[in-house]
Amino acid sequence: MAAKAARAAHSNRRPALPPRRDWLRWEQGLTLRSSDAIMSRKKEFTMVDDSSEELNRRKMRAIRQCLKILEEDFTEPIQRSRDLCHVSKAMSVKALHDDLKDEDTNLFGFSSTEDSKAVEDIDEALCIAICNLGHLHDADEMLKYLELKVKQEGDKVAETADRTFDELITSLLSRKRKLCAELVESIKSYSAGIAKAKEIIEEKKKCLIGAIRIAKELKITPSVRTYCDLAQVLYNLKLPVEAELSRVNSLKEKISPSEDNGQHTLILDENEEIPDVIIEAIFEDDLESSTELVFVSHVINPCHFYIQRYSQKKEAGILEKKLKDFCCNKSSYLLPSDVLELGARTFIKSKETGMWCRGTITELIPLKNKNERKPCGPIRYQVCDVALLEVFLIDFGSSVVLIFSGCIPAERPEPATLQTVETDDICLFVRKPDQHIEAELAAVPPLAVRCSLKDVVPKNASEGWGEEAKTTFLGMVNNKVVLMTIFREEDGVLIVDLKKPPFNKINNNMPVSLKDALVFLDLARYRSQLPSQLEDNTVLQYNPPKIPQEREVSVVVCHINSPSDFYLQLRESLDSLALSKKIQEVYKHEYGRNLEIVSPVEGQACIAKQKDGNWYRAQIIGLPSHQEVVVKYVDFGNVANLTLKDICRVKKEFLSFPEKAIRCKLACIEPYEGANEWNREAKERFEEMTEDKLMLCSVVEILDNNILSVELFDSSAVHGRRFSINCQLVKEDLASYIPGYTESTALRPNEIWDVPLEEIPETSEALNPIDMESVDEGDFKSVSKKELQVRISNVVSPSKIFIQWLSSESILKSLQEKMATIYKESQPQSVKWESSMHCAVYVCDLKQWQRGQISRIVSETSAEVILYDFGAEKTVDISCLRKLEENMKIIKTLAVECSLADIRPTGGSMQWTATVCEYLSYYLTGAQVKMIIQESDAACALPVKILCKDETGQLIDISEHLIKKGLAFRKRRTDKAGVACSVSKEHLKVHLEQENPHLDGCNSETVCGKTNTAPEENSTVSESEQKSCKTYKALLHSGVDEIYKSPIIPEARIFQAVVSCVGRDGTIYIIPKSFEIELNKLMTEIQRNFKCLGLLEPYCWKKGEACVVRGSDTMWYRGKVVELGGSTLQVQYIDHGCIERIPQCHLYPTTLYTGIPPFCIPCQLYKTVPIGNIWQQDAVDCLQELLTNEEVEIHVQELPGNPWGKLSISLYFGGMSLTSFMAYQKYCVAEDCQDVPEVELFEGDFPVLPSYILPPLPIPGDTFPVRVTHLVSPKEVYICLDPSKNLMNQSTTEGDASCDSELESLDEALKWCNKSVERLPLLTYFQTEMPCLVEYQDGLWYRAKLLSIEEYDPVKILVQFVDYGSFSVVPTSRLRHIPYHLLKYPVQAVRALLAGFKPALCDKNVKRIPYSPEWSVEALWAMMECVEGKQLSASILALSPEVTISLYEDDQNLVHMKLIEMGLADLDE
């Protein structure tokens, strides 16, 4: 019992399980320790003498204990782990040893030496047996594991095999369906041939049977012979049947069973090399295309070549044999008297192969007209009269030209495209077909099929395909069987790609894709590839039209769009009809001869067909679709939409002539009463006055792009009096003069310098020199910071604005009057005008003389001048210039150059955009404004602030207005000279020169002149600018090795964007919305160019290398390798910002798109410090969940230090600042954030809000006043229980209402919300019945609840205004979170059903309410008249299941009685 208790105690005290890797070592140590204990006991037992019986008893007990342990080991559950087995066995061994020790202790001193040795041997053997047993147990467990593993692997392999064979079966079934479809089509075609042959044979049989009957009658009855045509009867009897038999034989030959086994076999030419194995590529079979084996028979260019199908090889051999047999027959020889006809079929001997081929005659030139080729000449000639014969081989696609020796045709064919044979006897090479052979070969269609390579065009669109491209093409496909993939058919031409067939050897020079090979060899380009991306790709253009130098020219109006946009031709150009005639002759004859334009380019010169069928010079101005272009006829001005068939490449002989159509506009007039466009009557009247008439044109001004501002005169008027077309349109109220122009100031031709003389003032006291002294720098400082009244005379840009002092307007007026008196009689002077010369300038637009200075000489007849009393620059004719009187040179410059202070251009550029300049010029030019002079830093332009009134009459600061509009940024205080470096490569140039040119020669007292007194300051500023630029260039050095351009930052300070990715370091990558269209275009082009790529051969990647990446969505993206590592590379998606590990098989190296800057911009939050100075993982997860793929609003705060740096921004999502949100969530610290209080103010507004509270209803039976706020149907209305409240009257009052103050009513609460609505975040989470604020049509915000989403693109929500009951569908921009305190007010509108009436059964009104068709629309209108705007009373009849009321008028009559009287409703008893 004691031993059992000890064993139980030992079994309960199991040792701790050792680590798995040390279990064997632990077990061996246990065995050694057990052996040491036995040896120790042996020494003790030798000193004790014991009886043999006791020894035997102890041995038997030990053996029983061991057997029990073994039994326990084998009965343990299989699920027990290997470690537990070892622990159990180890404990059993220890229990055995302890048991033996206990028994030995009891018998201590009574054992002999032999017994001790035996016990030792037994114990040692038992330990070894137990260890071996453990190993066997482990082996058994391993076998069980392997059995389970092999079963799992077998299942997996079986599943893979099943799936693979399913795919194979699917592919085979697809191929089978295609082959069956082809078989059905072949059977149909063959059956149609049989039916046609049967029809012909039946007709022939009937004819012969009839002739036989007639012949038998004639034989029996000779007297009848005199009444019939015996010769015709005999002819009918002898009619041959070879043609019909040949048709049958041709059908028979198509099914030719072999003699040995009766199976149908394909008979190949003996010389043809038969491939060992032909494998059909069923796995690469494209569902949208088909493939077949072909030979390329003839090549004109890669977009125009011919093929023969491999499957028709047998048919071609039979055809060749038939032609050879027929042409050897002398009956087929041509006679000199035989007639050759254009378009007729003939047989001709090929020069290259010596074979007889079928052909069609495409060109005939007779001997007598050998030096003249008239397109409309005769088309039938005798053989003896033919000098040149051209035949198109319909089975090969090539052409053969036969020329008689000694006969020189007018035009020799191009040797590259035609086979030319000179012979003395044309009959040696040509045979004439007879009726029988024609009928026999009619069933054999032409074997040559015209094809074009898909999506490839010449590298240079203006030059077409070069000879090298054709030679390379032929070298790849000549005498080879190739695999042709057919994509589609366009106008009888197959659009294909040629590939290496699967049975070709590896060393064959046939590429995998022929079109890809031509592009790779730089002999072609893809259609989607922009020509501007290719080198040496010049687009041919016509010379611009000749601008008339005379002031009066005779013209003809050739095309009219409007009086402000029409085209005219000079009279001298009307005589050049020879050009048009030459174009017709050349292009009607050459049309289709390698002059087609396969890849049109905007701006490209061409020859285009008109509706009359003639060809004219044109220019491509638009590409609306793949096969369509928009052209402008350069000699007429009209525009047309044409297909590529109707345009051809222009020959260089027609490029030298300048365009004849000159674009013009009528001067000094505009649409009637300032309309935006000309009305139809004005256009028709203008056409009527100019149609088919010779007009006299007076050029008033040459505008940009050589557009002439002209005045037209009708020289064909009665009595020779000319009248102005411009004035006539004004007289007929079809046009108006431009502001500042009247008819009295209009000048007629030949009258420009003949205006009646006026007296010149003898004195000029008004021009007091003392009053005209320019204000010096000290005077500007004296008026600094004061409001001054000025007038804006000219606006170039925000940094270049010219103003005139109001006090100098009288001086300017006197000066202009004096100049008009002096120069009105003057004639053009023969003066050699040079730059910097002062002059008097006649401004034709204003009909005024002004002072000016020549800035540059444009041409011999025109010059560019600066009108320095207005600050404007103009290009004028030399005839408008006069020498400036010396006494006028001393008068000060009346225009002062200014610049808006404290603003700079957007986008980090030094240049102001055209949008800003036009915007500012439109609103300020000619306006009287207030100006405040700022402190000057020795700049040429005077820094100022300009204040003017807006549409509401309020005075606004122009600089602040531009910043608010996003057209300008506030200037940084650190920028002394306003130098800003762009993040874009195209903006890296630093412009150190001033925008405005210096007025050399002006009075030294002018403002610009004053700046010259401080050259040291200017040089200091320049040096600081240069130093800052050098520093910036040093910063850019890190990005010089970047293979991609730096991203472009939008010019607007505030713009919408989509967050494409949030990096692991918290970098926010955004794509501006304005970039999305260009990004989509680029993605489309990338997919088109890379969708057919095969597997890339092993490639050695480099860090920073550009590539395209195949994403998980199977789309290709631009990428850049950022880290190397084994079989996968770390790649950044350039246009999205995210970084992923990509297998090398999904990458492809390319530099095709490195010139396009990335579309995503890396950003960081402005003045935001993350906790721990780096964004923690939970913060990054929060940013990714909030922002990824969301549209946000970006406020640019600070440009990056280098173009590849991060843009510092403020980001707003759903109207809330991201910085304030992250700071509120304790993810970061906002150094300077004004938006954090917003989150705290509306802290309780973001969780799901409770529903609105319903108002308490009166006791049923009581009468109470109500007002109907909304009608759903005549029976369903919304009522307001307290009509004294007018919720619509929410006009905001002056003074601020605090949210914390006690609001007395719902009206006041809504007024407060309307005043502070901008602080309420936009609603971004939508749930049915969710309370919110909604903007109504009156611009005010009201309480409402969400009902459903009505539209998804864009998102629009159906809402109900709870205080009125009405419904509306609004965009999400008109939804905002509702403050919590607005929910404590009950809703004002209660839905109720009216009792006492029902829809009329006999209501004959057809128009019904769509959502309640039992009621007519007439009934709804009638009920609306009864309740709208009236004081009513109601009584509740029931509260459940719905509120039901009776509604009364003032006289206590039920409102529905009028509907009953009108027959629109019935009483409901």
- Paired strand residues for 525: 457
Tell me if 1274 sits within 8 A of 1459, measured CB to CB.
yes
- Paired strand residues for 736: 670
The average pLDDT across 818-828 equals 85
CA pair distance 728, 685, nearest whole angstrom = 10
938 φ/ψ sector (left φ>0, alpha ψ -120 to 50, else beta)? left
The average pLDDT across 1274-1298 equals 58
The average pLDDT across 616-623 equals 91
DSSP 1396: S
Residue 45's pLDDT band, with cuts at 50, 70 and 90, is: very low
Taking only the tens place, the pLDDT of each residue in 968-1007 is: 888 764 433 333 333 333 333 333 233 333 333 333 333 3
Residue 632: pLDDT over 90: yes
Q: Of 671, 624, 685, 620, nearest to 646 (Cα)?
A: 620
DSSP 656: S
Q: What is the predicted pLDDT for the residue at 52?
A: 56
The average pLDDT across 341-352 equals 85
Q: What is the predicted pLDDT for the residue at 489?
A: 86
The average pLDDT across 162-190 equals 84
The average pLDDT across 326-344 equals 84
Higher pLDDT pick, 1329 / 84: 1329
User: Which of 72-81, 1187-1196, 1197-1206 has the least mean pLDDT?
Assistant: 72-81
Coil, strand or helix: which one is 463? coil
Distances (CA, A) of 184 to 181, 255, 257, 801, 914: 5, 15, 20, 81, 66
Residue 662's pLDDT band, with cuts at 50, 70 and 90, is: very high
CA pair distance 671, 734, nearest whole angstrom = 7
Residue 1206's pLDDT band, with cuts at 50, 70 and 90, is: very high
Tell me if 502 sits within 8 A of 474, measured CB to CB.
no
Higher pLDDT pick, 484 / 278: 484
Q: What is the predicted pLDDT for the residue at 760?
A: 33
Residue 640: pLDDT over 90: yes
Q: What is the predicted pLDDT for the residue at 255?
A: 67
Taking only the tens place, the pLDDT of each residue in 829-852 is: 788 888 888 899 998 888 888 999
- Please provide the average confidence, as pLDDT, over all residues in the chain: 75
Residue 6's pLDDT band, with cuts at 50, 70 and 90, is: very low
Q: Of 1051, 911, 902, nearest to 973 (Cα)?
A: 902
DSSP notation for 944-960: EEEEEE-TTS-EEEHHH
Residue 377: pLDDT over 60: no
Give me the residue label for tokens 């030298």: 656
CA pair distance 725, 742, nearest whole angstrom = 15
Structure tokens at 170: 């699917």
Q: Of 894, 700, 910, nearest to 804 (Cα)?
A: 894
User: Which of 64-73, 374-383, 830-839, 1083-1092 has the least mean pLDDT?
Assistant: 64-73
Q: What is the predicted pLDDT for the residue at 132?
A: 86
Higher pLDDT pick, 1359 / 1251: 1359
Coil, strand or helix: which one is 1214? coil
Taking only the tens place, the pLDDT of each residue in 84-107 is: 444 444 444 455 445 544 544 444
Residue 82's pLDDT band, with cuts at 50, 70 and 90, is: very low
Taking only the tens place, the pLDDT of each residue in 1371-1396 is: 988 998 888 788 888 999 999 999 98
Pairing of strands 524-526, 339-341: unpaired
Q: What is the predicted pLDDT for the residue at 67?
A: 60
Burial of 848 (0-12, 13-18, 19+ CB in 10 A): middle
Higher pLDDT pick, 1281 / 1391: 1391
The average pLDDT across 364-382 equals 61
Q: What is the 3-state secondary structure (H, E, C) of 1325-1362?
A: CCCCCCEEEEECCCCCEEEEEEEEEEEECCEEEEEEEC
Torsion angle defined by CA atoms of residues 74, 79, 80 and 86, in that order, rounded to the nearest 10 degrees: 60
Chain centroid offset of residue 822 CA: 61
Q: What is the predicted pLDDT for the residue at 1301?
A: 39
Distances (CA, A) of 151 to 137, 144, 145, 146, 691: 21, 11, 10, 8, 95
Q: What is the predicted pLDDT for the residue at 186?
A: 83
Q: What is the predicted pLDDT for the residue at 1197?
A: 92
CA pair distance 1064, 603, nearest whole angstrom = 48
Q: What is the predicted pLDDT for the residue at 887?
A: 81
Taking only the tens place, the pLDDT of each residue in 550-579 is: 767 888 899 999 999 999 988 765 446 678
Chain centroid offset of residue 1400 CA: 58
CA pair distance 928, 804, nearest whole angstrom = 10
The average pLDDT across 228-235 equals 77
Q: What is the predicted pLDDT for the residue at 284?
A: 38
DSSP 1215: T
Q: 421-437: b or e for each residue (b if 16 or more CB lie within 10 Å)?
A: beeeebeebbbbbeebb
Q: What are phi and psi of 356, to 5 degrees?
A: -85, 130
Q: What is the predicted pLDDT for the residue at 1343?
A: 93
What are the start-end ranges of the H helices in 1339-1456?
1417-1427
Burial of 292 (0-12, 13-18, 19+ CB in 10 A): middle
User: Which of 529-543, 704-718, 905-919 has the least mean pLDDT?
Assistant: 529-543
Pairing of strands 493-499, 449-453: parallel
Residue 1450: pLDDT over 50: yes
Higher pLDDT pick, 275 / 291: 291
Taking only the tens place, the pLDDT of each residue in 1008-1056 is: 333 333 333 333 333 433 433 333 333 333 333 478 888 999 988 999 9
DSSP 1157: P
Residue 607: pLDDT over 60: yes
Tell me if 100 sits within 8 A of 91, measured CB to CB.
no
Q: Find the helix or strand (DSSP H, E) in which 1267 lies.
A: strand 1263-1273
Q: 1195-1204: b or e for each residue (b if 16 or more CB lie within 10 Å)?
A: ebbebbebbb
Distances (CA, A) of 840 to 623, 764, 888, 1289: 48, 18, 10, 64
User: Which of 81-90, 614-623, 1203-1212 has the least mean pLDDT?
Assistant: 81-90
Residue 1095's pLDDT band, with cuts at 50, 70 and 90, is: low
**Could you tell me the strand order of the sheet in which 647-649 lies?**
639-643, 628-632, 615-625, 605-609, 647-649
Residue 630's pLDDT band, with cuts at 50, 70 and 90, is: very high
Cβ contacts of residue 1170 below 8 Å, gap of 6+?
1066, 1176, 1179, 1227, 1228
Higher pLDDT pick, 10 / 1229: 1229
Tell me if 1053 sits within 8 A of 963, measured CB to CB.
yes
Residue 888's pLDDT band, with cuts at 50, 70 and 90, is: confident
Q: What is the predicted pLDDT for the residue at 69?
A: 61
CA pair distance 653, 660, nearest whole angstrom = 16
Give me the residue label for tokens 């190296």: 1149
CA pair distance 1054, 1233, nearest whole angstrom = 17
Q: What is the predicted pLDDT for the residue at 53?
A: 62
Number of other CB atoms surrounding residue 986 within 10 Å: 11
Number of other CB atoms surrounding residue 1381 within 10 Å: 15
Higher pLDDT pick, 1326 / 1134: 1134
Structure tokens at 827: 């004639």
CA pair distance 1271, 450, nearest whole angstrom = 71
Q: Of 1356, 1328, 1331, 1363, nearest to 1345 (Cα)?
A: 1331
Cis bond upstream, residue 671 (ω within 30): no
User: Which of 46-50, 787-791, 890-894, 1208-1212 has the least mean pLDDT?
Assistant: 46-50
Provide, rounded to the nearest whole percent, the portion of the chain with pLDDT above 90. 14
Residue 722's pLDDT band, with cuts at 50, 70 and 90, is: low
Instruction: Give the sign of the dihedral formed by CA 747, CA 751, CA 753, CA 759.
Output: negative
Number of other CB atoms surrounding residue 530 within 10 Å: 11
CA pair distance 863, 875, nearest whole angstrom = 6
User: What pTM value is reported for the model?
Assistant: 0.30
Q: What is the predicted pLDDT for the residue at 937?
A: 53
The average pLDDT across 131-139 equals 86
The average pLDDT across 952-971 equals 82
Residue 549: pLDDT over 50: yes
Structure tokens at 871: 């600050």
Higher pLDDT pick, 987 / 959: 959
The average pLDDT across 1219-1233 equals 80
Q: What is the predicted pLDDT for the residue at 563?
A: 92
